[in-house]
Chains A and B, each alone.
Chain A
């Protein structure tokens, strides 16, 4: 009950904070729409107009990842700037539990991206929104968003020790888009990148969402996204404990 209350209050509070940030507004709605438009024109130019829903879903998922990434990178950094990181670390619940709802809220906000690209595609490019498996789509979407939130939690834990979290956020946006095959197939990438794709929740998440929308096996990727998400949760619990302990021991929590 106590855990549920922490998650619920943290989720609502962070949703209010990031929901009023113009930076997040750009990241979660404008940027995905711009990337979706670029992808639409590129696919049309290549004579592949039938794949516009594929492009809309991919661009939306890119937005979900960007929001998660910058949110996760930012939440530790902002708390550090505001002087509230130490209070969170000193509170009785584990630090991972304090940040879990924040990370989930960031990913949840990323769903704006998917809504924006699908709506934009429908209104401006006439992309049909007929889903092959609507109920599985409804199931795949929150599963993917939660898994991305849990991956964001792992990233956030590393930012406790790393002063330049923003740099890592800036760097990791495109590589995850590429390795997860969010908008083009990973078969275009060298074979050695395949294992990297497999450990990324967005890889399985976009497969589940894409198959639910366009047709194909959904349960396999959906199961994998849940599994990888749970692994991320377990890993983040450990990394938060280690990094928090290291920061306390070195007295570098505030990094100032």
Chain B
């Protein structure tokens, strides 16, 4: 168990430091903090111009969605870059527990996602977002759950990167489609039925809805169903990601294309 935990935590951090391309401040600050900051301003102003929803609607939606900067891109790098940097073979040749190797990579990504989300909420406060003080702990919990769920989704994309030639394509598509489908800037009720259905199968959607209600004064208990659903969605993605990782690992070994492009 000690070895498992060591691989999970220490291995996760080492992998993150080695594989996350944007870890240096010169990359991290413009990409992980600057881009979400301007995304928030952009959609808040667009909403104001379109007379669509209230300012808080966009602040909550985008402040949570930006965790995907870390969850989607970070997790994709944490898995797919092993292949890109040529270290996938040695990694998979090791006897390390696969669940510890794979899931441990999500911990730093999760922490980073929380940081990005908290930073963007901080900018939201500067723009006038004022949730009730009593709602802040519940809001924090919802952000943790949603970021966890989004990280699990990132794991699935990362697993695809074990075989796909251009994993940035999938990551970019996923990030932008989440902006459209997950109720970040458009209420799900305004979307066609099939789009809101797809949105409900994705991470973020239920978490953002719960966060908006809590920011409006609802209690955590009243949104427990939404939070639970978000957690369930995340668990399903984590399970699917791990299974896909194992299947692709096996297939790559069998067909001898582990490091091939």
Contacts and interface: CB of A to CB of B under 8 A. Distances in A.
A42 B186 contact: yes
Question: Which of B24, B168, B176 has the most chain A CB atoms inside 10 A of its CB?
Answer: B176
Contacts of B45: 178, 184, 188-189
Given A23-B166, A48-B51, A188-B48, A177 B172 contact: no
A42 B176 CA distance: 16
A30 B46 contact: no
> Lowest 5 A-B CB distances belong to which pairs?
A174-B38, A184-B49, A46-B51, A171-B30, A46-B50
Interface in B159-203: 166, 168-169, 172-173, 176-177, 179-180, 185-187, 190-191
A45 B187 contact: yes
Contact of A167 (B31, B169, B176, B179): B31
Interface in B26-59: 26-27, 29-31, 34-35, 38-39, 41-42, 45-53
Contacts of B177: 34
Interface of B: 22, 24, 26-27, 29-31, 34-35, 38-39, 41-42, 45-53, 166, 168-169, 172-173, 176-177, 179-180, 185-187, 190-191
A41 B166 contact: no
Interface string A32-53: 0011011101111111100000
A38 B185 contact: yes
Residues of B contacting A: mostly: helix
Given A23-B172, A171-B31, A188-B49, A45 B26 contact: no
B17 to A, nearest CB: 17
Nearest to B47: A42
Contacts of B27: 164, 166-167
A175 B38 contact: yes
B186 A34 contact: no
A23 B169 contact: yes
A183 B172 CA distance: 22
A170 B34 contact: yes
Binding site of A, secondary structure by majority: helix, strand, loop or mixed? helix
A31 interface: yes
A43 B50 contact: yes
Given A23-B168, A37-B180, A48-B51, 17 more contacts: A23-B169, A25-B169, A26-B173, A31-B172, A34-B177, A42-B52, A43-B50, A43-B52, A45-B187, A164-B26, A167-B29, A167-B30, A167-B31, A170-B30, A171-B34, A174-B35, A174-B38
A24 to B, nearest CB: 10
B52 A45 contact: yes
Given A48-B50, A174-B35, A41 B30 contact: no
A25 B166 CA distance: 12
B28 to A, nearest CB: 8
A238 to B, nearest CB: 25
A184 B46 contact: yes
A72 B179 CA distance: 26
